[in-house]
A = this chain, B = another copy of it.
Amino acid sequence: MELEAAKLKYIQTWGSLATSWGINKTMAQVHALLLVSIEPLSAEDIMDTLKISRGNVNMNVRALIDWGIVRKEFVVGERKEFFVADKDIWELFKQVTKERKKREIEPVIKVLEELQNDVKEESEEAEQFKKLMQDLSSVTSTVNSILDKAIKADEHWLLSSFTKMIKK
């Protein structure tokens, strides 16, 4: 397979994985494109390769910068902005995990804990509900703390430490 064809296939594949995990397809594709590019790319380069509008590129590049996985880079003699994605994939995984944890998982844990505390009733049914909230927040917190460790750890922590946990 040609290198360029392979790059495009990777961009497509990554885009569709993103879609099923609730991440904007274009955003994933822009990121994938920057990853496989040797040179920094301008907004126009991205528009041309992915066949998308200027506005779309701008919005998604900014989102990627917000997420901390893409950065601007200046090219000597060029006025316009260029973008690069760092190619350390483990770092990328950590960044994305960190953001999603903070934005999505942590608020849910908070609500589950509140619900547990706010129900004052003491019927059998209420106790069951509180128990369910507790179990849910337990599992959610455990997942959260595994992710926490992953974020802080060195490259191969995740696998080995997890194995230890299982074996106890």
Contact = CB atoms under 8 A, between A and B. Distances in A.
A36 B129 contact: yes
Contact of A153 (B3, B128, B166): B166
A119 B87 contact: no
Given A128-B165, A135-B162, A115 B20 contact: no
Prevailing SS type, chain A contact patch? helix
A30 interface: no
Contacts of A78: none
For chain A, which range describes its interface: under 10, 10 to 19, 20 to 34, or 35 or more residues?
A: 35 or more
Contacts of A89: 132, 135-136, 138-139
Contact of A6 (B1, B115, B149): B115
Given A2-B119, A3-B119, A90-B135, 9 more contacts: A3-B121, A3-B129, A6-B118, A6-B129, A17-B108, A35-B132, A89-B135, A132-B165, A146-B159
Interface of A: 1-3, 6-7, 9-10, 13-14, 17, 19-23, 35-36, 38, 87, 89-90, 93, 103-105, 108, 111-112, 115, 118-121, 123, 125-126, 128-129, 131-133, 135-136, 138-139, 142-143, 145-146, 149, 153, 157-159, 161-163, 165-166, 168
